[in-house]
Amino acid sequence: MDLFEEIFEEKSTPIPSVGELTQKIKQLLEGHFNQVQVKGELSNVKRSSNGHIYCTLKDSEAQLPCVIWRSNAQAYHSVFEDGREVILSGTIQLYKPQGRYQLIIEHAEPVGIGRLQLEFERLKKKLEAEGLFNPSNKKTLPRFPSTIGVVTSRTTAAFQDIISTLSKRWPLAEIELFHASVQGERAADEICTGIEYLAKQNHVDVIIVTRGGGSLEDLWPFNEERVARAIFACTIPVISGVGHEIDFSISDFVADVRAATPTQAAVIATPNREDILVGLDDFSSRVSRIIEQKWSKSAQRVEYLAKSHALKKVLELWNISKMKHAQAHQTLHHRIKNLMQERTSELQNWKHRLDKLNPNVALDQGYTRIWQNDQWIKSKSMLVEGEAIQVEFKDGRAAIAKEN
């Protein structure tokens, strides 16, 4: 057979079936588009009863059928709305029975909304549906706390603000700090550990979970689900004071009380000693007035009865008992006077005790206070020799540099 005959020889090549051809297309298509990203507008969003979400991604030139399986759909449930512009990531697959290709979605992100904000809204909606924000689950704060637990970093300005505020408002309270990171990968676990630890301390009356302001990323540990559930499970009332007034975190919604700032958290947790002292003075005055009023009414009643017609016949008996009545009157008046003096003395003692607990009284008298590394040095054993110190006067602090 020459070359010409070989070239033009009719060969019998098998013709593929529809399934075979589709399988070849499927292998070719999926082999080249196994990880893709695409941007477009969602339409025809449908949620099936088994948890899958079907939709179409389109622009002005084309449409792309898409599906996200139930295993991923829950995490991105809030993203899928008709008309929303999104970025979808996943794999192109061909559905062989219909000869139809589609995008199997693995990740979805709205255009213009960050991943963290989306996760915040998703978790907020989830926990709200579970009842973690329900006011009926909120615990009442104690009126006069003796020990206040604080979960935060000891190096933050937020902790110093809390110390300063509590020393002025309610110096009777002890502060028990659980040092925890307030940002970064370890923060959420350490915050949970702190809440659980303080909840087991029988002497702790209220817990403040706090940090200062920052970006959404900085504040994110307080948006973690495990932190929210630790706060909800805590048997002790919890105050959340995270960020600035405009910042809201998941911990704010689940806590028993939300404070706009760390300083406000300390204010919410305690009464004001000045208000208590004024209240004691008012109470003493009201008790005195009530006793005087009752005594005056009783005296008027006795005088009225003494002049009544019915008692004229017993006037002689009255005159005999008058002296005894006067003596009893004097005795009762003396006892009331002594009682008032005792109560007044007791109130003054309480006022004196509160004044003595004010740590700044000594400063007003000319004494000074030594600080080192933001810690009040109360004994020689606490002093780190060679490190810089600060001397606090009543009108401020002066730094003394460390020795070279």
Q: pLDDT tens digits, residue range 282-303?
A: 877 788 788 888 888 887 887 7
Q: Which residue in this structure is represented by tokens 């579970």?
A: 130
Q: How many CB atoms lie within 10 A of CB 109?
A: 17
Query: What order do you get walking across the sheet with 396-400 strand by strand?
Result: 375-376, 369-372, 389-393, 396-400
Span 120-132, pLDDT tens digits: 988 999 999 999 9
What integer pLDDT is reported at residue 346 of this predicted model? 77
Share of the chain above pLDDT 70, in %: 89
Which band of pLDDT confidence, cut at 50, 70 and 90, is reported for residue 7? very low
The more confidently predicted of residues 342 and 233 is 233
**345-349: average pLDDT:** 78
Does residue 155 register a pLDDT over 80?
A: yes
Q: What is the pTM of this model?
A: 0.51
Mean pLDDT of the chain: 86
Span 183-221, pLDDT tens digits: 989 999 999 999 999 999 999 999 999 999 888 888 999
| Distance in Å from the first CA to the final CA of the chain | 103
* Contact assessment for residue 238 and residue 215, using Cβ atoms and an 8 Å cutoff: no
Sequence-ordered list of residues with C-beta below 8 angstroms from that of 136, at least 6 positions apart, any chain: none
